Amino acid sequence: MTQLQSLRGMVDLLPEQTCRWQAVEAVARVHFQRWGCREIRTPLLEVTELFARGIGEATDVVGKEMYTFQDRGDRSCTLRPEGTASVVRSALQNGLLSQGAQRLWYGGPMFRYERPQAGRQRQFHQIGVEWLGVSSAASDAEVIALAWDLLADLGVEGLALEINSLGTPDDRLAYRTCLVEWLEARRDQLDADSQQRLSTNPLRILDSKHPQTKALLEEAPLLEQSLAPESLARHQAVLQALDALAIPYQCNPRLVRGLDYYGHTAFEITSDQLGAQATVCGGGRYDGLVQQLGGAATPAIGWALGMERLLLVLEAAATANPDGRAAQLVQAATPDVYVVNRGEQALQAALVLTRQLRSCGLAVERDESGSAFGKQFKRADRSGAAFALVLGDEEAERGVVRIKPLKAVPDADGLADQQDRSLNDLPALVEALKKGANSVATSGD
Ligand code: ATP
Ligand code: MG
């Protein structure tokens, strides 16, 4: 029978990777908790209209990239391509917004029918935050600081923040008129895609990757020139707050984001760790979205970071600096203790001991090959455990277990040499192992 394969762009996360993912997620959870963000989990499947109305019909995501189908009840359903619209829908549906400002975070798979390549998949994962009901310029800087500090704490190096203001809907309308007029006069110099966008979503042309279009855009009028004085002042206030937080940024007047709901602050955070600058995090303010989805006018801001791209960046950082924070995070999990056992009587004692140690919180791997001690010790070394516990029939007979350090343990812990310990004094054994495993971990061996 032929073996079945996963769908194109849908990628398995194998144990070696899930370990790393969990480490990253754990750090993210700590930061969210410090920032007062609470987790929200929404369904992967939503009515198609949510994204059509929320993200905008003329965007690439809605126009070309959604997984949309009719369910058995003939409703049009879509696998979520991003998190913001769902979070806002849920907040409205569950009355969260009547309880004051909401600082929320989410994580999980998103689906976009794109051309798969490195760091771009059809099922990918995001972690994101949405702050609903917060309007100040300071909050824009604060939400950016959350992303910045999280990425820095993860050991991502070469971070750069690009920021722009997309102004109010009126500002964008004024700019749209001016941009379309300018581009219409140069229509024949635009690529086919951009020509089409001229009537559907002209601001997105600024995001074009087409070299000739990009070159032409160098000369195009800038959004900044259409911003009302209040919008400019707001943008300045955000930049000042970033200055106060000592977060470096670069103003990029051509930064527009792929989704229609953004206004005022828009930003992206990139890392140079993969050679070229890779966008790991994108976000901005979306004051109009709640209303567009049927709620009362509510200011809001958020960002999402791409887990796959973040992991690529972290792996590169770990290779570049084997002693750094990223290397620590992507390290495979190892057991604390490896139990080497051989013989009928030893097996019973090892089973009991292993279970006891596990219930005391130690990660224990027991060799179940029954092979010669030499072979078991080789596996113990490969396991990365700090200690081997050795049980042969002779030890079992005497009611002891031999502790053999597999890594250099500071002498002070009294575990530098191998020694026998009584099986009847479990607390002393556990304490010694935990202390030893701890000092091995902190000595960085
Ligand atoms: P891009 O310009 O790379 O397509 P985007 O603007 O479509 O990005 P957002 O919607 O802002 O991306 O999503 C935020 C982050 O999610 C991105 O910065 C990226 O890290 C990640 N991301 C987006 N699309 C994908 C994908 N198809 N596969 C993997 N990660 C993705
Ligand atoms: Mg995209």
pLDDT in tens, the chain (445 residues): 999 999 999 999 999 999 999 999 999 999 999 999 999 999 999 999 999 999 988 888 998 999 999 999 999 999 999 999 999 999 999 999 999 999 999 999 999 999 999 889 999 999 999 999 999 999 999 999 999 999 999 999 899 999 999 999 999 999 999 999 999 999 999 999 899 889 888 888 888 888 999 999 999 999 999 999 999 999 999 999 999 999 999 999 989 876 778 899 999 999 998 877 789 999 999 999 999 999 999 999 999 999 999 999 999 999 999 999 999 998 888 899 999 999 999 999 999 999 999 999 999 999 999 999 999 999 999 999 999 999 999 999 999 999 999 987 766 566 777 889 999 999 999 998 888 887 777 665 4
Per-residue burial over 292-305, b if 16 or more Cβ lie within 10 Å, else e, is bbebeebbbbbbbb
Can you give the pLDDT at residue 79?
98
Ligand 1: does its nearest atom lie under 6 Å from the Cβ of 130? no
Going by CA atoms, what residue is nearest to atom 6 of ligand 1?
A: 258
Closest ligand 1 atom number to CA of residue 257: 6
Q: How far apart are CA 106 and CA 45, in angstroms?
A: 15
pTM, entire model: 0.90
Q: Is 53 helix (H, G, I), strand (E, B) or coil?
A: helix
Domains along the chain with CATH numbers = 15-168+228-328 (3.30.930.10), 334-443 (3.40.50.800)
The pairing of strands 337-342 and 387-392 is parallel
Question: Which atom of ligand 1 lies closest to the CA of 61?
Answer: 7
In the numeric block, the tokens 């994101």 are attached to: 128
Distance from residue 101's CA to the centre of ligand 2 (Å): 29
Whose CA is closest to atom 29 on ligand 1? Answer: 120
**Helical residues (DSSP H) of 211-306, grouped into ranges:** 211-217, 229-244, 289-292
Show the tokens assigned to 326: 């990223």
At which residue do the structure tokens 């760790």 appear? 273
Task: Tell me the CA–centroid distance for residue 274 and ligand 1, in Å.
Answer: 16
Judge whether 51 and 62 are in contact, CB under 8 Å. Answer: yes
